[in-house]
Amino acid sequence: MLWFFLIFSTLCWGIAEIFYKKGSLEREKYSHLKTTVFVGFFMGIYATIVLFTQGIDLAAFPKNFLIYLPVSACYIISMTCSYFGVRFIEESISDPIENSSGAVVPILCAVFLHETVEVPGIICIAVIAVGILCVGFFDKKGKADRRRKYGKKLAIWAIAMPFCYMLLDAVGTFLDIFYTEDVETTLLVNVTEENLEHTANCAYEFTFLLVAIGLLIFLKAKGEKLFSLGEAGNAPTITKKKWVMDANGTMVKQKVTFVPWYRKVLCQKWKILAALFETAGQATYLFALSEGSGIAAVILCAGTVITSLILARLFLKEKLSFTQYIFIGIIMVGIISLALLEG
């Protein structure tokens, strides 16, 4: 089952990255927030199922929800940053940077936990850092295009988002050590070896759901509809005769042209599919990690990037320079080597 979980999660997250890109429109101001809403609602549905099927202590869960809040916040904010950045930059650039968060975790452990990073680990971290810097350095044409199209300020914010994800995700992973590494030392209460990770995961996903609800209220206050026509720009309309009230307050039958609800949903199909595949990957990755942490870390981290790079080239027609692909390859070597060392 380990390999099924690994392959399933890797493919789901790699596909989700492509849908994130397709659903993140430059012209749709709150596109990244809408994506967060969809992900939050799918996460909430899955968390509800897990909460009642994995032996989680329901009485202690509200407390664990609050205890785990710092970790959840890091993960959710980092993902929202990613959704914003991918509106303006290539998936082929953002994804390798984001998944380099694993190189930051050993640094945090060394600084705050006084753990020793061996020489091979230091070399891997340095290789990843050089690869990231060079991918950005050789993105001169992309930088010029973004500055001309969006302006210097927005172009800088866009390229900064993958780095924000990388740092916040690394902090979240670092904090996660205190919660899920050992049932004897965890900060969570009334958990067992069997439900420790599921309890933490449920707390994260329910936090995501609450954030989604909050964002939905924010969008409503801004007069922005969740199922707007943002991805299509327009959608096929239908005309029907309906009873409507005229200026005199009399009900009359008139022809009304409108966009039916199902077509509005289809206009946001890429965001919905991204949220669905994100949640599907989330549903199996915990089982993969629990069955084989070392090899799972390698495949989940590196495999997702490789999958998204291939799909971005095939379906998004993204094309980087040969030099950039070389340094992305260097990043991948560093990520795989570091994951093997950590495993």
Q: How far is CA 255 from the centre of its chain?
A: 44
Residue the block writes with tokens 């205190």: 178
Q: pLDDT for 2-45, tens place per residue?
A: 677 778 888 999 999 999 999 988 888 899 999 999 999 999 99
Mean pLDDT of 322-339: 83
Q: pLDDT for 199-225, tens place per residue?
A: 999 999 999 999 999 999 999 999 998
Using the 8-state DSSP alphabet, how is residue 190 labeled? Answer: S
Q: Report angle CA 310, 313, 319 to the nearest 5 degrees.
A: 130
How many C-beta neighbours within 10 Å does residue 203 have? 26
Q: How confident is the model at residue 230 (pLDDT cuts 50, 70, 90)?
A: low
Can you tell me the distance from the alpha carbon of 203 to that of 50, in angstroms, rounded to the nearest whole number? 11
Can you tell me the distance from the alpha carbon of 343 to that of 327, in angstroms, rounded to the nearest whole number? 24
Instruction: Show the beta-strand stretches assigned E in 112-191.
Output: none
Cβ 286 vs Cβ 197: under 8 Å: yes
- Per-residue pLDDT at 287: 67
Asked whether the predicted pLDDT for residue 238 surpasses 70, the reply is: no
Longest dimension (CA), the chain: 83
- Per-residue pLDDT at 343: 58
